[in-house]
Structure 1
Amino acid sequence: MAPAPPTTDRDWRAFVRILALSMVGLFAGYLALAVVVDPYDTGRSTLLSRGAVRPQGPRTASAMRGRDPAYSGVVIGNSHIQLIEPAALTQLTGIPFLQLSVPATGPSEQFALLGWYLKHHARPDAIVLSADAFWCADDPAFPSEHGFPYWLVGDWPAYLRGLIRFSAAQETVNRLGWLLNPRHKTAAADGWWDYERNYLSQGFGIDPAKKAALEKPVGPEPEPHHGGPFPIAARLRAELARIPAATPVVVVFPPVYARAEPPPGSPRARAEAACRAEVRAVLAQHALSTVVDWRDGRSAAADPDQFFDQTHYRLPLARSLTAEIAAAIVRLRTR
């Protein structure tokens, strides 16, 4: 048997070319598949869209929910307004409402979701925004310790870059499996999530340590990076410019437990009041707008049975807040 010819540099170069082309082909094939499957149903490809939300966290489900044309009203914020039930707002206002709140988010993430919603709803019937302590940070970037998939609600280049990650590849496979399953489960289309059970299962309202934490008063000094100035004013002004003048906008200062209110006249109290005053001043520039203020010392905020912790309230209080938000929307719409 004749010996095999020696491997030449040309052979190695050909092998490397074939390998490189194969990798490029595999990458292009995956990206094309991911775009067609649209793992989080952003609507960029509707070939496999089924009009239902696959069970997942609100961070990613918001991409599908935020583009749903069935909802002409929206609530945007974090867990401090997540117990506002959209169906209840719908019943009280006649506006089909969507809950687009995502836990552990601040203005940067919330305004990104607002932009996504407005992109798919040119003339909303009402917008509700929650202005909590995260709005009163002094960094105009409003950084968050928790990741957020901005790429899902971004432009096409950002979306394509976002698909090039292991989690997106996993979700591409997961969504294919979900689509092929005739008995696939679905999540609430309107984003409603009652998290009371989650808190109760963790001992809130029962555990002595958690009860003690609820009663711990806050200090007189502002939290770090929350003493002002407040860049939320400029950011909110820019966001309001994107909202049609005929759309009612309600900004909610969500309830906090009485022990979370700083001592009257303290630097912290002055800083928080100044921030809310700036939000009010900017909001007033939108013709159809109002504030629902639950930081006004009302008696319900002093009831420990209405709170899990100092910033998360329970359903009975949430229902009262819902009714007040709905009444504000009705008043704005009758102007």
Structure 2
Amino acid sequence: MVYGFVVLVDPWGVLPFHIPAERPPISTNARFAFAGLARSQSFDAAIIGTSTSRMLRPAALNEAFEARFANLAMNAATAYEQSRLFEVFLRAHPTPRAVVIGLDHVWCDAGPLQRYTPRDFPESFYEASPWPALREMLSFYAVQEAGRQFAVLTGLMRPRYGRDGYTRFLPPEDRYDAARAATHLPPLPPETHRHIETAPTDLPLPPMALLDRMVTATPAPTTLVLVFMPRWLGSQGAPGSGSAAVTEACKRQVVAMARARPGTVVLDYWRASPITREPTNYWDEMHYRDAIAERIEAPLSRAARGAPGASEDYVDLTP
């Protein structure tokens, strides 16, 4: 009876049959919550990334792209996990209106490819067939989440995430403490007033193979935007350093992918800029504040028309 309840409620919206109802994401582990959301026909566009992309609001992009976005960015998601979620989305939406992929350090990792984090990743949720997901319903976690989803569906509890995947996960802006935030920021390199080019290295970057498959698989009519997210300048690596060389190699490979797929837009915020050199723009070295999210959303909206324009905040690397 308990198993039947879990299957009918289908807390994550991934089973081949269940009670007909729209299921908002309810699990704190987005790897469970977003596999079903990626299949939802309520959306025809997606934001893929880590927590550095979670502050992007689907509602701010929908009109410009003439699309309905779901924010599928997941905290600390590996490149592999992001690629698997992208596969699910693309199978359910063979010709999406738009895809925005937020790029950060996980895509530019020169070490062995990391597949998972300590967070559970339910591989069966990401397969083409929905039937293997039935195995995941035989757990105490599934029972717990079925109870939560049932409470949401019956109006007894509010969903943890927005129905489009967006939720504000950082503290409220009125609680921002510049002095406290500064303690989480590494010091700036000696010269910060301009971007200094660093020669790229030839070191192989395993995640780039996954990204190349994603870019190649994106249908030609789909608007594809790749965005290097604005990491705090003090954590980017000093010009001429090994880490800076790896980053430049990563950017060079991404631009090569964009050249192979006409119409792809590449925006680079991962550089010295008015955003990345100002400490009060950040909660910590990875996560920017609301006003910066809005400064990213505006060029993204212009990129929907293929012309993001010039800015000191970023460089358009589009070939």
TM-score (norm 1): 0.78
Distance of aligned partners of 1:54 and 1:254 in 2 relative to their CA distance in 1, 3 Å threshold? closer
Distance of aligned partners of 1:235 and 1:33 in 2 relative to their CA distance in 1, 3 Å threshold? same
Contact 1:130 1:252 in 2 (8 A): yes
> Which string of whole-angstrom CA distances, capped at 9 and with x for unpartnered residues, describes residues 33-92 of structure 1?
5433322122522x4131141543333331332122122111011110111111001133
Whether 2:95 is the aligned partner of 1:123: answer yes
Contact 1:253 1:293 in 2 (8 A): yes
Whether 2:93 is the aligned partner of 1:109: answer no
- 1 CA distance for matches of 2:183 and 2:152? 45
Contact 1:82 1:99 in 2 (8 A): yes
Residue 199 of structure 1: how far off its partner (Å)? 8.4
> Which string of whole-angstrom CA distances, capped at 9 and with x for unpartnered residues, describes residues 191-242 of structure 1?
12122326876x75342xx4233143589xxxxxx99420122222222332
SS in 1 for 2:75: coil
Distance of aligned partners of 1:165 and 1:204 in 2 relative to their CA distance in 1, 3 Å threshold? farther
Contact 1:86 1:98 in 2 (8 A): yes
Distance of aligned partners of 1:172 and 1:195 in 2 relative to their CA distance in 1, 3 Å threshold? closer
- 1 CA distance for matches of 2:118 and 2:163? 28
Distance of aligned partners of 1:262 and 1:129 in 2 relative to their CA distance in 1, 3 Å threshold? same
> Which string of whole-angstrom CA distances, capped at 9 and with x for unpartnered residues, describes residues 275-333 of structure 1?
22112212322222121110232222111111111111111111111111121122179
Task: Look up the match of 2:145.
Answer: 171
* 1:287-326 mapped onto 2 (5 Å cutoff): 287-326=262-301
Letter in 1 for 2:93: H
Task: Look up the match of 2:224.
Answer: 249
Distance of aligned partners of 1:200 and 1:108 in 2 relative to their CA distance in 1, 3 Å threshold? farther
Larger Rg: 1
- 1 CA distance for matches of 2:45 and 2:52? 18
Letter in 2 for 1:275: C
Letter in 1 for 2:105: A
Task: Look up the match of 2:59.
Answer: 87
Letter in 1 for 2:158: K
* 1:15-30 mapped onto 2 (5 Å cutoff): none
Distance of aligned partners of 1:168 and 1:217 in 2 relative to their CA distance in 1, 3 Å threshold? same
Task: Look up the match of 2:315.
Answer: none
Whether 2:150 is the aligned partner of 1:195: answer no
Whether 2:90 is the aligned partner of 1:145: answer no
RMSD of aligned residue pairs (Cα, Å): 2.8
- 2 CA distance for matches of 1:217 and 1:316? 21
Task: Look up the match of 2:158.
Answer: 185
SS in 2 for 1:302: coil
Task: Look up the match of 1:162.
Answer: 136
Task: Look up the match of 1:51.
Answer: 22
Distance of aligned partners of 1:298 and 1:289 in 2 relative to their CA distance in 1, 3 Å threshold? same
Return the match for 1:135 from 107, 110, 123.
107
Distance of aligned partners of 1:158 and 1:233 in 2 relative to their CA distance in 1, 3 Å threshold? same
- 2 CA distance for matches of 1:140 and 1:54? 28
- 2 CA distance for matches of 1:332 and 1:248? 12
Contact 1:53 1:64 in 2 (8 A): no
Distance of aligned partners of 1:283 and 1:139 in 2 relative to their CA distance in 1, 3 Å threshold? farther
Larger displacement relative to structure 2 (66-75 or 123-132): 66-75
Task: Look up the match of 1:20.
Answer: none
Task: Look up the match of 1:230.
Answer: 205
Task: Look up the match of 2:243.
Answer: 268
Task: Look up the match of 2:183.
Answer: 212
Contact 2:9 2:19 in 1 (8 A): yes
Return the match for 2:215 from 240, 245, 257.
240
Task: Look up the match of 1:77.
Answer: 49
Letter in 2 for 1:132: D
Letter in 2 for 1:60: F
